[in-house]
Structure 1
Amino acid sequence: MTSAEFVKPGRKQRVRTLWISDLHLGTRDCQAEHLAAFLKRYQTDRIYLVGDIIDGWRLRSGIFWPQAHTNVIRRLLTMSKRGTQVIYVTGNHDEFLRGYSSLLLGNIQLVDEAVHHTADGRRLLVIHGDQFDVITRYHKWLAFLGDSAYELTLTLNRWLNHWRRRWGYGYWSLSAYLKHRVKTAVNFISDFEEAIAHECVKRGLDGVVCGHIHHAEIRRVGEVEYLNCGDWVESCTALIEHLDGTIELYRLAEDQAQRESREAVSLESAA
């Protein structure tokens, strides 16, 4: 059974691992309600928070922290209390935590990177990925400039989805759509993937799980398996390892469309 299949209300799906990244808690564009609902559906051995979980950049200019963001933290703490190992991998937006790497608090561990062993024996580097972004690493002023332009796109995205909900449509990401259409963005993503895959080859690892670029994907880059868990700002995506070691890419938009299709079929059957 995959996450795209129907799960009865109140019944959690048992999986081995979840990876989520780029939540950007503390910003207006964090899709915290969708994320909390997603987490509530699963019982998992471990969950990796693959960087940019709390947006320290945005919180410097003012505090924005609604109840929905607290609910996400509470959900993660509840999962930890019930036996889930929570591994927090630091990112560039929460780099203030990098000074506390290797901190261990019960079932919660803070690291800069990790190596995950899948059920079928693969070894995957788990890292946020900003270390392989030339702009973030060497031209931080450009990163802040780009972040401001990106915030404008997300504001448009927020209003668009407000009206889509009013008219009964599911979630759709304008910013993700533009990212697929702009040539420079496509080239940047390709360069990022090549750089991080090269690092895996150097370390003798089978693949990498990362975030940072808000572009969820599972594909092979040369001899390396590249898995990006995306984000919960524009795409609302995650990676799920099932009990046999297979890894699935979850997309909220696809999940909503499948649920609506099932509901339509049920209504037709009942008519």
Structure 2
Amino acid sequence: MTQTSTAYHQAIWLSDLHLGEPHCRAEYLLAFLEKHQAEHLFLVGDVVDMQALTRRQYWPESHQKVLALLCQRARSGCHVVYIPGNHDMPMRQYAGGLFDCIEIHQQYLYHSPYHGRLLLLHGDEFDRQLCSSKLENWFGDKAYDLVLWLNQLWNLGRRLLGLPYQSVARMLKRCSSKAERAMGRFRQAALARVLAEQVDGIVCGHIHLPELLNLQGKLYINTGDWVENCTAVIEHSDGRLELSHFSEAKKPLSRLVPQRAVAMAKCS
């Protein structure tokens, strides 16, 4: 059995793991965590799907392994910060405390040595910009459940054909003008928060749409999820930011080079 090498980074951002939900891609997440370590590991909400667990008790061994590995990383000296989201909202009452060496915060300000001050929050704070009514929210939830089942069936067929994982939800979001407008409102709300807090960028999750963008000179980072997209954001040791997809086929979705590195390259 060959051993796989482990990459070490400055920081890793993960969100929307949804452990305890049947559609969680825990096997891909475990493989990612085994291959990647960092000085800082940020969990940006919806780590354990407590809402799903109230409807159905589902906790397979792979989900327990993910949670155990995250705790083990924290006990081993990795700086692990956990920002609860709307699906694990009960954990917000413990903000300012510790869970097995993992720091719990309502939001967190990360001082990146390359990208300045980055505000970390889940993103459900911006829900008012996305939906206009409770009825619309209800229909949205039901449609999303259907998309997740289609996603499962689609990728079962792809595996039988020897093809790698592909997110159905991501394709549908890109094809829907209404979804695109909602995602645009979310980005603008996040950018407004950046400007109000006078920070250099924001890292969030919540909407399951991974992105790594420069908006008006500010960083907008959405880590994606491990239900549909299987994505993480990595800050490499040299400051490069990478939005990485991880399933049978591993590939970077986008990259950003720190401005300091760009300036040095121009001077050389």
TM-score, with length taken from structure 2: 0.88
Aligned amino acid, residue 174 of structure 2: H
Distance change (3 Å), C-alpha of 1:92 and 1:136? farther
Distance change (3 Å), C-alpha of 1:129 and 1:168? same
How far has the Cα of 1:144 moved from its partner?
Answer: 4.3
1:67-82 residue pairs with structure 2 within 5 A?
Answer: 67-82=61-76
Aligned amino acid, residue 221 of structure 1: L
For 2:19 and 2:236, locate their aligned partners in 1 and report how far apart those are by CA, in whole Å.
27
Distance change (3 Å), C-alpha of 1:40 and 1:234? same
SS of 1:60 mapped into structure 2: helix
Task: Report the more deviating stretch, 247-256 or 208-217.
Answer: 247-256
For 1:103 and 1:138, locate their aligned partners in 2 and report how far apart those are by CA, in whole Å.
35
1:136-167 alpha-carbon deviations (Å, 9 max, x no partner): 79855643442222011101101111121111
User: Is 1:62 paired with 2:22?
Assistant: no
How far has the Cα of 1:254 moved from its partner?
Answer: 8.9
Q: Which runs of 5+ in 2 are unaligned?
A: 253-268
Distance change (3 Å), C-alpha of 1:78 and 1:171? same
Aligned amino acid, residue 75 of structure 1: L
How far has the Cα of 1:106 moved from its partner?
Answer: 5.3
- Structure 2 counterpart of 1:101: 95
- How many residues are matched? 251
For 1:136 and 1:98, locate their aligned partners in 2 and report how far apart those are by CA, in whole Å.
22
Aligned amino acid, residue 214 of structure 1: H
Q: Which runs of 5+ in 1 are unaligned?
A: 1-7, 259-271
User: Is 1:45 paired with 2:39?
Assistant: yes
User: Is 1:123 paired with 2:117?
Assistant: yes
How far has the Cα of 1:230 moved from its partner?
Answer: 0.4
1:220-235 residue pairs with structure 2 within 5 A?
Answer: 220-235=214-229
TM-score, with length taken from structure 1: 0.87
Given that 2:164 and 2:249 are in contact with CA atoms closer than 8 Å, whether structure 1 keeps it comes out as no
- Structure 2 counterpart of 1:12: 6
- Structure 1 counterpart of 2:235: 241
- Structure 1 counterpart of 2:167: 173
For 2:20 and 2:232, locate their aligned partners in 1 and report how far apart those are by CA, in whole Å.
20
Given that 1:51 and 1:92 are in contact with CA atoms closer than 8 Å, whether structure 2 keeps it comes out as yes
Aligned amino acid, residue 84 of structure 2: T
For 1:99 and 1:138, locate their aligned partners in 2 and report how far apart those are by CA, in whole Å.
28
- The sequence identity of aligned pairs, in percent, is 37
For 2:89 and 2:47, locate their aligned partners in 1 and report how far apart those are by CA, in whole Å.
10
Task: Report the more deviating stretch, 249-258 or 202-211.
Answer: 249-258
Given that 1:119 and 1:243 are in contact with CA atoms closer than 8 Å, whether structure 2 keeps it comes out as no
1:71-103 alpha-carbon deviations (Å, 9 max, x no partner): 111111221122111111111111111111111
1:201-212 residue pairs with structure 2 within 5 A?
Answer: 201-212=195-206
How far has the Cα of 1:194 moved from its partner?
Answer: 0.5
1:11-30 alpha-carbon deviations (Å, 9 max, x no partner): 21110111000111111110
Distance change (3 Å), C-alpha of 1:208 and 1:105? same
User: Is 1:187 paired with 2:181?
Assistant: yes
- Structure 2 counterpart of 1:147: 141
